[in-house]
């Protein structure tokens, strides 16, 4: 018997062709909008920072060790190093917490956990990414800090250690999920080859799977580090607002993002030098994250593995 095939009329075919022509246009508009937004942000940072650097020399800004832009008269200092030191101190503590825990959980989920366990544990782990950062900040201030003060009584109420630990907890799901996805993309044949040669599960995971997925793991690390560098609410609540150029994690420090928050919510006069410091700090933060992403791209391309 002859099969009844659906007939495509001329009008339907014409509508299909028109939609095929229009869809690339819509998609290109969406892509262009994101590019325009990025360019607009960069242009605002550059133009506003230019007015600041006409008054404050760039060299003094990058090498100065005193940051007191809100003081009056001769007491004003515009050395950004204390903010950079505070930012990297908290970031270093965060990655010390997040990288081993995130990578370890990713290895467990991809190599050891049964399918049913993975389906339960991974969504629970990713719930941490959905918790508002203001909640993390109060958790650091009301739980982690008193715990640290119990162990080390000389710890300040606002300190870098508490903020760094909680920022590290916050970025664990990001590192774990992306690293686990990269490991799951490694072909099963590589694992089977390792087992055929007598390797244990740990040896296969550490000597085959992790090197094969190193590009994705590095990308997750850099994304987590960038998230830690740009974190705002946790460091604003738990780390304090003292631009202290100290490497002691038990003392209060101020980060780049925390300073932007403190000035933006104050009574700083629009167009004044203290107001323009917001943009100078912002472009410094932008350059730091840009350099980190460039380095991550170079590392990812160097260690990228392609499978067919």
Q: Map out the domains of the chain with their CATH numbers.
A: 73-303 (1.10.3720.10)
- What are the two backbone dihedrals, phi and then psi, of residue 265, each rounded to the nearest 5 degrees? -95, 5
Question: Do residues 184 and 108 touch, judged by C-beta distance below 8 A?
Answer: no
Q: How far apart are CA 278 and CA 272, in angstroms?
A: 11
CB 73 within 8 A of CB 84: no
Residue 6 has pLDDT above 70, yes or no: no
HEC assignment per residue over 29-75: HHHHHHHHHHHHHHHHHHHHHHHHHCCCCHHHHHHCCCECCCCCHHH
For residue range 198-238, list pLDDT tens digits in order. 888 888 888 888 888 888 888 888 888 888 998 888 998 89
Tell me: the pLDDT tens digits for 95-142? 999 999 999 999 998 888 888 888 888 888 878 878 888 999 999 999
Longest dimension (CA), the chain: 97
Dist. CA 170–CA 128, nearest whole Å: 6
Return d(Cα 69, Cα 77) in angstroms, integer: 6
- For 49, 54, 68, 84, 179, the CA distances from 281, given in Å and listed in that order, are 9, 15, 13, 10, 31
* 8 A C-beta contact, residue 129 and residue 58: no
Is residue 159 classed exposed, middle or buried when 0-12, 13-18 and 19+ CB atoms within 10 A define those classes? buried
| DSSP code at position 71 | S
Question: What is the C-alpha separation between 235 and 134, in angstroms, rounded?
Answer: 10
Ramachandran category for residue 269: left, alpha or beta (phi over 0 → left; psi -120 to 50 → alpha): beta
CA distance 227 to 94: 10
* Calpha distance 17→126 (Å, rounded): 42
Q: Which of 138-152, 200-214, 289-303 is the least confident region?
A: 289-303
Percent residues over pLDDT 90 in the chain: 22
- Mean of the per-residue pLDDT values of the chain: 84
Q: What is the pLDDT of residue 303?
A: 67
Token representation of residue 180: 């686990």
| Euclidean distance between CA atoms 247 and 93, whole angstroms | 11
């Amino acid at each position: 018997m002859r099969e009844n095939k659906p007939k495509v009329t001329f009008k339907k075919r014409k509508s299909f062709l028109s939609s095929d022509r229009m869809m690339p246009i819509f998609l290109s508009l969406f892509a262009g909008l994101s590019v325009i937004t990025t360019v607009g942000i960069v242009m605002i940072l550059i133009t506003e920072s230019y007015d600041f650097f006409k008054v404050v020399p760039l060299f003094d800004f990058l090498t100065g060790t005193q940051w007191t832009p809100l003081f009056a008269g001769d007491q004003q200092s515009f050395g950004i190093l204390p903010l950079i030191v505070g930012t990297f101190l908290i970031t270093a503590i965060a990655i010390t917490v997040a990288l081993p825990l995130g990578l370890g959980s990713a290895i467990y989920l991809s190599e050891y956990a049964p399918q049913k366990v993975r389906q339960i544990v991974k969504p629970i782990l990713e719930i941490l990414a959905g918790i508002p950062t203001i909640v993390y900040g109060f958790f650091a201030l009301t739980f982690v800090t008193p715990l640290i003060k119990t162990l080390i009584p000389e710890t300040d109420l606002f300190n870098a250690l508490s903020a760094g630990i909680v920022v590290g907890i916050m970025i664990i799901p990001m590192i774990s999920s992306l690293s686990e996805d990269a490991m799951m993309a490694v072909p099963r044949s590589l694992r089977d080859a390792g087992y055929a040669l007598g390797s244990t599960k740990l040896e296969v995971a550490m000597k085959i799977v992790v090197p094969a997925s190193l590009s994705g793991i590095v990308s997750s690390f850099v994304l987590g580090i960038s998230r830690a560098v740009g974190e705002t609410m946790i460091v604003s609540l738990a780390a304090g607002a003292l631009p202290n150029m100290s490497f002691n994690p038990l003392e209060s420090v101020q980060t780049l993002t925390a300073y932007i928050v403190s000035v933006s919510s104050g009574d700083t006069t629009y167009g004044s030098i203290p107001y323009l410091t917001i943009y100078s700090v912002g472009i410094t933060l932008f350059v730091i994250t840009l350099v980190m992403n460039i380095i991550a791209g170079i590392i990812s391309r160097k260690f990228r593995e392609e499978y067919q």
